[in-house]
Structure 1
């Protein structure tokens, strides 16, 4: 099983249908609207605009598990992201990324007993669904290590 086999809803309703991303490089990021790292949305959108035609998908996964920094409804989150950062990449419904109610997506991304550190932790998933790299929350979307990892996996 890989992330492509996991069911998760889109922020705006219905299935996010991760199967459609099989064969693409997917950057999964747990996001929050009221975090000191929230300005990373701008860099994520730039990355999405630059590489989406080559097969990069950015998947934002809202979570309210860190200091209550994503308290809003789906509509609040969608509006915040659109108005403040021009976000057009896919967002899922709000989920738990740690603990007993951890969403199965994060069960596939992290090992047994491992935890997500904070908002904006990043996972680069290879086209075959394996986790190619994990980056800590402070890693900016423009970080050369992150970009190099993505570029290495994308078709030329």
Structure 2
């Protein structure tokens, strides 16, 4: 199964797939609103603003599996991201990224990551860089700041 065929829910509750992102470079991130790493939303938004016109998307997947740091509803998450960080990149419904209920997207990402293949997600704001063909090209740790990814993104967009 391709990454583009996996069913996901938007932050507003609509069921869709990632098909609309086919042909674009993607940065997929599990997010949380009450985490020490939450300020990464600012850097993620800056990457989105900087590279969107060149075929780059940031996709945020809220997750409450790490110390309960994403307790709100989808509506509360969307509002928090808008008010505090001006987030305009696509956000999706809360998912599990580890354990028995791991969302199929994260099963796919973890299984196909060239580094850290199959390993559990360590914390909020772990990142996966996906090329324009839907292949996972890099798994990036939670503590890596978004601005540290500019050369990786630019290499994909060449």
- TM class, shorter-chain normalised? over 0.9
Q: Distance in 1 between matches of 2:16 and 2:42?
A: 22
Which ranges of structure 2 fall in alignment gaps of 5 or more residues?
112-116
Q: Distance in 2 between matches of 1:100 and 1:19?
A: 26
Q: 1:147 aligns with which of 126, 150, 155?
A: 150
Q: 2:119 aligns with which of 103, 114, 117?
A: 114
Q: Distance in 2 between matches of 1:15 and 1:88?
A: 19
Q: 1:127 aligns with which of 102, 112, 132?
A: 132
Tell me the number of residue pairs that the alignment of Structure 1 and Structure 2 aligns. Answer: 153
Contact 1:16–1:92 (CA<8 Å) still a contact in 2? no
SS at match of 1:26: strand
Q: 2:143 aligns with which of 110, 121, 138?
A: 138
How far is the alpha carbon of 1:15 from its aligned partner? 2.6
Q: Distance in 1 between matches of 2:21 and 2:157?
A: 13
Contact 1:95–1:103 (CA<8 Å) still a contact in 2? yes
C-alpha RMSD of the superposition: 1.1
How far is the alpha carbon of 1:3 from its aligned partner? 1.6
How far is the alpha carbon of 1:5 from its aligned partner? 1.2
Q: TM-score, normalised by structure 2?
A: 0.94
State the 4+ residue runs in structure 1 displaced beyond 3 angstroms.
none
